[in-house]
């Protein structure tokens, strides 16, 4: 558990592993490297907790099938952040699968809690039963 909140994740950034890169093929673009160096590294402990919280909430939402489209959108956002930081690994594949989930969010709603949540709160362009005005 030493990685949580300790800022140890920022050591790689400070060591230049994820810096803007020099030479013919830099790993990280300049604007994102600047963001990492000026925002993420000084606040590495905070960002470690944000990543833990985000991944946990996204995972729970996807497992129970609640707010699938929204959870998947934030999953893609996190994957893109990791890819921009120069850590490829399985992130491009996970981002592709997540994009497919975003496109299929209405169908995914039949297999989880979204089957009941979405009709109640509504979807873009159609208000749910909770928000429709009752005419007496």
Q: Is residue 84 part of a domain?
A: yes
The predicted structure's pLDDT at residue 84: 86
pLDDT at position 103 is 79
Domain count, the chain: 1
The answer to whether position 132 is within a domain reads no
Can you spell out the DSSP letters for 20-84? ---SSS-SS-HHHHHHIIIIIGGGHHHHHHHHHHHHHHHHHHHHHTSSHHHHHHHHHHHHHHHHH
C-alpha Rg value of the chain to the nearest Å: 19
Query: What pLDDT score was predicted for residue 86?
Result: 82
What pTM value is reported for the model? 0.72
Residue 98 lies in a domain: yes
Find, among 79, 4, 81, the residue nearest to 35 by Cα. Answer: 81
Average pLDDT per consecutive 10 residues, the chain (136 residues; last block may be shorter):
55 50 65 91 94 95 88 88 82 82 72 87 85 70
Asked whether residue 69 is domain-assigned, the answer is yes
Which range of residues forms the domain containing residue 95? 9-127
Residue 3: inside a domain? no
In a domain, 135, yes or no: no
């Amino acid at each position: 558990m030493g990685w949580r909140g300790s800022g140890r994740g920022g050591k790689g950034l400070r060591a230049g592993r994820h810096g803007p890169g020099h030479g013919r093929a830099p790993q990280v673009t300049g604007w994102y490297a600047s963001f990492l160096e000026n925002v993420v590294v000084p606040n590495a402990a905070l960002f470690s907790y944000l990543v833990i919280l985000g991944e946990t909430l996204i995972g729970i939402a996807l497992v129970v099938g609640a707010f699938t489209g929204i959870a998947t959108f934030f999953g893609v956002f996190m994957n893109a952040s990791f890819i921009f930081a120069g850590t490829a690994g399985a992130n491009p594949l996970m981002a592709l699968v997540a994009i497919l989930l975003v496109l299929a969010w209405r169908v995914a709603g039949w297999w989880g809690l979204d089957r009941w949540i979405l009709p109640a709160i509504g979807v873009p362009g159609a208000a749910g039963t909770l928000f429709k005005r009752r005419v007496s």
